Amino acid sequence: MKKIGRNDPCPCGSGKKFKHCHLGREDELALNGMGEISMEMSEKITGLPSVHYGRSQEMLGALDIKKLTGSEIGIKFVDLKQYGDLDVSGRRPSHEGKDGAGGVVVNVLKTKKSDPDHIYVAISPKIGDSTLVHQLAHILDYLGGSGMMPGVTKALSFDLGIPPEHLEHPHEFGYWLIHLQEEFGVKPDADDAIISYLYKNGMLIKGEDIEKQERVILKSKSERILRFLGEKSAEIDAFIRELPGYIGSRVRKN
């Protein structure tokens, strides 16, 4: 694919500038120029064997996706390393932690050509409950919330100079995250505990605001989140310090 300028029209045909559309997600652009992953690439993913790591099958079996979201789409779990070894995007997934536990929702643009009836999640054998719930919350958010796949806002956050997680985890994602944590009795890790806290305090950005891509509004809402986190840093540190993923005190120094 030839080099595309940040301000050039996106090759996918959306009418948006490249920097506001597929910048950072070039793997989704078609090698055939039509904005789709080839059938061969798609089949490499959907042909991977299903796996049943951790509580993945238990959670999936208990979820009535149609009742929750109105969608008939199903979910399949595949091995994270096998997915990475396919190298279908030109770079390996980076969602596997140091302990070998991790997971990532595969963008539907990579699989819909060969299997439009499922969303694929690549997970590792050591995946924990909190990571599973996090990935499932992304799927429920996509099907019955903001409508956004994880990762699609990376270019926008980069262009605006705001933390990626502010757009990656919209208000609707927060709702599903808490719903699943309560449904399956899952103790969140430190980062998800903060997301839940932000949701309960009405601080997460709504999907409709992200979709409009109004720079002033998004930057303002992101700054609001940062101020809130700073003001509540001591309170937040107190309830996350014993949770997995805690990286040390986040108390703001005066």
pLDDT higher than 50, residue 81: yes
Query: Which residues touch 238 (CB under 8 Å, ≥6 apart)?
Result: none
**Distance in angstroms (rounded) separating the CA atoms of residues 57 and 176:** 18
CA-angle at 71, arms to 118 and 170, nearest 5° = 90
Q: Which residue has the tokens 């996350």?
A: 240
Task: Mark 44-79 as b/e (b = at least 16 C-beta within 10 Å).
Answer: bbbebeebebbbbeebbeebebeeebeeebebbbbb
End-to-end CA distance of the chain, in Å? 50
Q: Is the pLDDT of residue 92 over 50?
A: no
pLDDT by residue (tens digit) across 180-221?
999 999 999 999 999 999 999 999 999 999 998 899 999 999
Q: Is the pLDDT of residue 30 over 50?
A: no
Percent of the chain with pLDDT over 90: 65
| Res. 37 pLDDT band, cuts 50 70 90 | confident
For residue 7, what pLDDT is reported?
Answer: 72
Contact criterion met (CB below 8 Å) for 123 and 80: yes
Mean pLDDT of the chain: 85
In a 13 Å sphere around the CA of 161, the CA atoms on its Cβ side amount to: 3
Please report the pLDDT score of residue 27 as a whole number.
Answer: 54
